[in-house]
A and B are shown apart, each in its own frame.
Chain A
Amino acid sequence: MEVKNLKKYFNVGKKQLKAVDNVSFEIYEGETLGLVGESGCGKSTIGRTILNLYQATSGEVNYKGKNLQEKLSKKEKKFYQEEIQMIFQDPYSSLDPRMTVLEIIAEGIKIHQSNMIGKERLERVYELLELVGLDRKHAKRYPHEFSGGQRQRIGIARSLAVNPNLIIADEPIAALDVSIQAQIVNLLKELQKERGLTYLFIAHDLSMVKYISDRVGVMYLGSMVELASSEELYNNPLHPYTKALMSAVPIPDPDIEEKREQIILQGDMPSPLNPPSGCRFITRCPAAMDMCAKLSPEWTEVEKDHFVACHLF
């Protein structure tokens, strides 16, 4: 998948909210691309725009040689819906409380594999339930009978029902307890290994993102500021925002935490309705220069596969 100059503006009254402003990146087959950033940076909007849950203001989302933002025929639409699926953040609101687990998971199969009926379909649902670590007798139950972690497993089973290639996971573990988060992350990794899935993993938990992702993109106020392999990004962060973001996360290890020096950013993220001119990070950047207020930094490849948008580089 290739995302090119993607823009998504929302109209808020008379103003325009630039939720995603000129973002380009690629997702390679079989990899996990992590997207991190603070709330309001546009990471979820990207996920939803790729899926066409939002219509992009401009830009391209190319997948298998076709721009998904163009008008698609019904058949093409159905094909892409099968190929790309989503896992949502909140396992409490993303499952219909009045449907049984069986109905929830079978819904996609009914639409996309309409020749699979009766017993065959039931078997497929059982198979999916077992795949995500649930029991086949759970199929007749309703979502409220499950814990948060189990519900997230149901959400994963539902997304796998149509055999997708790309899964967009929007904060899939943010609403779960620590001991359950590890279960879900392990499950996602196993499924990826078995089925060769590609993930776009959207999260704000940096250590989890590093653990699951091959490459990580950092977003700030609607634009991407840095993109590199996860090892490279964590060992050699270049953009001042990436550095501050990583330094802000306390490390659960007393010896390391004691020696570490924290960069504490001043102030808040400016409102996306009224972003600063030039570089968007300028209001909080410890290394801001005169030039930063005038010019938006270019997206440059500093080292191989390490992109950054900053005037320092």
Chain B
Amino acid sequence: MGETILSVDNLDVSFQTNSGLIKAVRGVSFDLKKGETLAIVGESGSGKSVTAKSIMQLLPKQSTRIDSGSIVYGGNDLLEYGNKEIEKIRGKEIAMVFQDPMTSLNPTMKIGKQVMEGLIKHNNIRKKEAKKRSIELLTEVGIPYAEERMNSFPHEFSGGMRQRVVIAMALACDPKVLIADEPTTALDVTIQAQILNLMKELQKKTGTSILIITHDLGVVVNMAQRIAVMYAGEIVETGTLREIFYKPKHPYTWGLLQSMPKMHQDQSVPLIPIAGSPPDVSLMHDGCPFAARCPYVMKVCHNHKPDQTQISVTHAAACWLEDDWAPEIKQPEKIGGVSNS
């Protein structure tokens, strides 16, 4: 296993809202290794985007509180950085690709200028050089006639093309870490396949570590080597791709995998959904966040939060079922990844 490049430890993020304090992220820890792709998977409201944005200090300052935890990059805690210091990291060492390519580009600025902006700011190079490099970058991400397209505005590009531009901008300064927050959610499947392929190719070339945030388990399999599953602000299970898909330990992961139809699913067999809906994070109690929807819930789950139990070197789950005292339960027979074809 390679060396750790980014390490998030015990992160707590809360928001002050009109309806009270919302603890959006609670005790999240993970490591991103050099050159790997780690996926954070979860449903809407599970805190996956908040986690990503707190790494980059992109959350609104007035209403956000980072209560505890550390985000260590290059030996320093990013949370202690001020505006000036984080600006040197943001975009240069750690870059981000956002979900919506329609809104993450400035509609009044030419594409070329937007790509050059970061280059000039971080690399201290001349405009002419920056222009040359920008054309190279746009060609690299697959934009035809890059030299002419430098003068186009974002609205003249399709969604897939815009996402390519955003990726070019993110890669401009050879970042060590790329955070991609739902990079293909707004795109059609054939375009999604293009963009995912592009990201994998670029990773092979540059050795960048990728933290990909998504709700789509197909995208996860396509991209990631390791997975962290988030639910209601907490990481409930982490493991390698195969551990999560073939030997999942947390009932939420079981539910998530089971609720998707397989390509060869028998039409007469109903899907197995997770009952109920995700909890209101502002009303969280002390116990396991999944307790209210868990089919294997026990008394202890309501009052005590389970610790992460290490199952193998790479695999951990936060569930009382992994406790030595827990009763044996029958795991669901066919779990998501195991196709019945």
Contacts and interface: CB of A to CB of B under 8 A. Distances in A.
- Scoring B265, B273, B336 by chain A CB atoms within 10 A of each residue's CB, the highest score goes to B273
B271 A204 contact: no
Given A150-B277, A265-B194, A251 B263 contact: yes
Given A245-B190, A248-B189, A250-B222, A186 B338 contact: no
A71 to B, nearest CB: 38
A302 interface: no
Contacts of B216: 250
Interface stretch (B112-120, B145-153, B168-176, B254-262): B254-262
Contact of A182 (B189, B192, B218, B260): B260
Contacts of A311: none
B245 A250 contact: no
A256 interface: yes
A179 B258 CA distance: 9
A252 B257 contact: yes
Contacts of A252: 217-218, 220-221, 245, 257, 260, 336-337
Contacts of A189: 270
B242 interface: yes
Interface string A205-231: 011101110000000000000000010
Interface in B267-281: 267, 270-275, 277-278
Given A211-B265, A251-B218, A268-B161, A178 B189 contact: no
B193 interface: yes
A179 B190 contact: no
A253 B336 CA distance: 8
Contacts of A300: none
Nearest to B338: A253
A287 to B, nearest CB: 16
Given A208-B261, A211-B265, A211-B267, A249 B218 contact: yes
B262 A207 contact: yes
Interface in A245-292: 245, 247-257, 262, 264-265, 268-269
A23 to B, nearest CB: 20
B242 A254 contact: yes
A179 B256 contact: yes
B337 A253 contact: yes
A236 interface: no
A111 to B, nearest CB: 32
Contacts of B193: 247-248, 250, 262, 264-265
A244 B193 CA distance: 10
B337 A254 contact: yes
Contacts of B217: 178, 252
Given A179-B43, A189-B270, A253 B160 contact: no
B206 interface: no
Interface string B139-180: 000000000000000000010110000000000000000000
Contacts of A38: 188-191
B323 to A, nearest CB: 25
A68 B333 CA distance: 49
B188 A182 contact: no
A128 to B, nearest CB: 20
A234 interface: yes
B44 interface: yes
B56 interface: no
Contacts, number: 126
Nearest to A175: B44
B146 to A, nearest CB: 15
Nearest to B198: A264
A252 B248 CA distance: 14
Interface string B203-240: 00000000000011111111000000000000000000
B339 A256 contact: yes
A37 B40 CA distance: 28
Interface string A6-49: 00000000000000000000000000000000110000000000
A149 B197 CA distance: 33
Contacts of B197: 262, 264
A276 to B, nearest CB: 16
Contact of B339 (A149, A182, A186, A253): A253
A104 to B, nearest CB: 20
Given A251-B218, A264-B197, A179 B259 contact: yes
Contact of A244 (B190, B242, B246, B270): B190
28 contacts: A38-B189, A38-B191, A147-B277, A177-B43, A178-B215, A178-B260, A179-B273, A180-B273, A181-B259, A182-B274, A183-B273, A189-B270, A208-B261, A211-B261, A211-B265, A230-B267, A244-B190, A247-B193, A250-B221, A250-B222, A253-B339, A254-B241, A257-B221, A262-B197, A264-B193, A264-B197, A265-B190, A265-B193
Interface of B: 43-44, 158, 160-161, 188-194, 196-197, 215-222, 241-242, 245-246, 255-263, 265, 267, 270-275, 277-278, 336-339
Smallest CB-CB A-B distances: 3 pairs: A250-B218, A182-B273, A211-B261
Interface of A: 38-39, 147, 149-150, 177-183, 185-186, 189-190, 204, 206-208, 210-212, 230, 234, 244-245, 247-257, 262, 264-265, 268-269
Given A206-B189, A252-B218, 15 more contacts: A147-B278, A177-B278, A179-B259, A179-B278, A180-B273, A182-B261, A182-B271, A186-B270, A204-B189, A207-B262, A252-B217, A252-B220, A253-B245, A255-B337, A268-B191
